Amino acid sequence: MLTLMEPALWTEKYRPKTLGEIIDQEEIVSRLQEFVKRAAMPHCLFAGPPGTGKTTAALCLAHDLFGVRFQDVFMELNASDERGIDVVRTTVKEFARMASLSSVPFKILVLDEADNMTSDAQSALRRTMEKYTDTCRFVLCCNYSGRIIEPIQSRCALFRFTPLPDEKIVENLHRIAKNEGLKFTETGLKSIVEVAEGDLRKSINTLQAASSMSKGITEESVYQVVGRAKPTDVHEMLNHALKGDFIKAREELRHLLVRYGLSGSEIVRQIHSEIFRLAIPEKKRIDLVEAVGEIDFRLVQGGDEEVQLSALLAKLASEAYPGRKT
C-alpha cells in the first residue's frame, strides 16, 4: 500500500494511457480521436476546472498519434517551469522549429496552465505558433480561457472540459480502492467526492492520503487529512445559533478553531455550504447568505477571525427572537 511518504503516485498510476480510457468527456474524446484518424490537428486550447483531464487528454492524444515512443516528439512545460518571454524565444522556439522524425509530420508542445503566462510571453508565443505551424502543434491548457490573449484564442480549436459528476468519481474511487486492497466505507468515499468538487485528481490524492489511516477510509479520516471540519459539526453549530443558544454555538466555534486549526475563511466557506442544507424558510436563507458574504469581506479586509465569526453567530441567534433588533 502506498502511503503519504509517496505522494500522488496513484494519480499517475491510474492516469489513462489512451483517449479511449478517458471518462465522461465523450464529445471531446470523439473530436480528438478524429485528429488521430486523420493524423492532422490544429493548435488546441483546453479550458476547464482543475482535475478534469486536460493534461491527460494531451498526453493520450500524443500517445495515440505517435505510439509508445511519443516522448521523442513531445514536450510539456507546466507551471513549475520558467515560461517567461525568454523561454518562449529559446526553449519553445528551438523545439518548435525542428522537424518531426516520426511518420506524423509535426510535434506536439503542451503548455500547462498557460493562463499564468504574462501578456508579453503570450504575444511572443503567438508569433512562434504561426511561424512554425508546419513542424509543431501547440496544446494550451488553462483554467480560464479568458486570460489567454485573443490572437492566440483565434488560432486554436477550443475544448471545454467540465467537472466530473459525482457518480463517475465514486466509480473510479471504488475501482482504485479495490485494486489497492483498501478498507473503506461508502460515507468515506462520499466525503471524498464532496471535498473534491468534481476534481478527480484531488479525489485520488485524498483517497491516497486517507489510506494511511490505520482504521481505513472513513468520513472522519477524510476530513482529518484534508484539514476540514466535519459538515455535521458545522451543521450543529448553526442549529444551536438558530435556536437562540449563542453560548453553545460559540463553544462549537472555538472547538472548530482550536481542534481542527481552521482559518476563519475556511469556516465561512463551510458555513456557506451548510446554509443550503438547513431546513429554514427561503427568505431566512437569503438573509444568512448575505450575512456570510459580509463576514467574508471583513475577514479579507483583516478583521479578527473569532470576533467576526462570533458576530455572525450572534446575528443568527438574534433571529430566534422576533422582537429583537439586529
When pLDDT is cut at 50, 70 and 90, the band that residue 4 belongs to is: very low
Measured CA to CA, the distance from residue 136 to residue 130 in angstroms comes to 10
Residues 154 and 44 in one domain: yes
Tell which of 160, 192, 211 closes a domain: 160
**pLDDT at 7 > cutoff 70:** no
Residues 222 and 236 in one domain: no
Residues above pLDDT 70, as percent of the chain? 93
Q: What is the pTM of this model?
A: 0.81
Specify the range with the lowest mean pLDDT, choosing from 3-12, 38-47, 166-175, 193-202. Answer: 3-12
Q: Which domain holds residue 102?
A: 25-160
Structural domains in the chain (count): 3
What is the arithmetic mean of pLDDT over 44-49? 94
Residues above pLDDT 90, as percent of the chain? 31
| Partners of 160 in beta bridges | 47
**pLDDT at 46 > cutoff 90:** yes
For residue 260, is it within any domain?
A: yes
pLDDT digits (tens, 9 = 90+) for 84-126: 788 888 888 888 888 887 778 899 999 998 888 888 889 889 9
- End-to-end alpha-carbon separation of the chain, Å? 55
What pLDDT score does 182 carry?
Answer: 87
Residues 201 and 140 in one domain: no
Residues 133 and 246 in one domain: no
Tell which of 139, 160, 181 closes a domain: 160
> Half-sphere exposure of 178 toward its Cβ, with a 13 Å CA cutoff?
7
Q: What CATH number is given to the structural domain containing 218?
A: 1.10.8.60
DSSP states of 15-68:
S-SSGGG--S-HHHHHHHHHHHHHT---EEEEE-STTSSHHHHHHHHHHHHH-T
**pLDDT at 157 > cutoff 90:** yes
Q: Under DSSP, is residue 142 helix (H, G, I), strand (E, B) or coil?
A: strand
Pairing of the two strands 74-77 and 43-47: unpaired
Tell which of 160, 193, 218 closes a domain: 160
Measured CA to CA, the distance from residue 262 to residue 260 in angstroms comes to 5
Residues 143 and 37 in one domain: yes
Residues 139 and 254 in one domain: no
What is the arithmetic mean of pLDDT over 224-233? 84
Main-chain phi, psi angles of 200, to 5 degrees: -65, -40
Name the residue type at position 212: S
Name the residue type at position 253: L
What pLDDT score does 296 carry?
Answer: 92
Average pLDDT of the residues of the chain: 86
Residues 34 and 131 in one domain: yes
Residues 259 and 272 in one domain: yes
Q: What CATH number is given to the structural domain containing 83?
A: 3.40.50.300
- Segment (H or E) for 203: helix 200-210
Residues 99 and 63 in one domain: yes
Residues 57 and 140 in one domain: yes
For residue 241, is it within any domain?
A: yes
What pLDDT score does 326 carry?
Answer: 47
Measured CA to CA, the distance from residue 253 to residue 250 in angstroms comes to 5
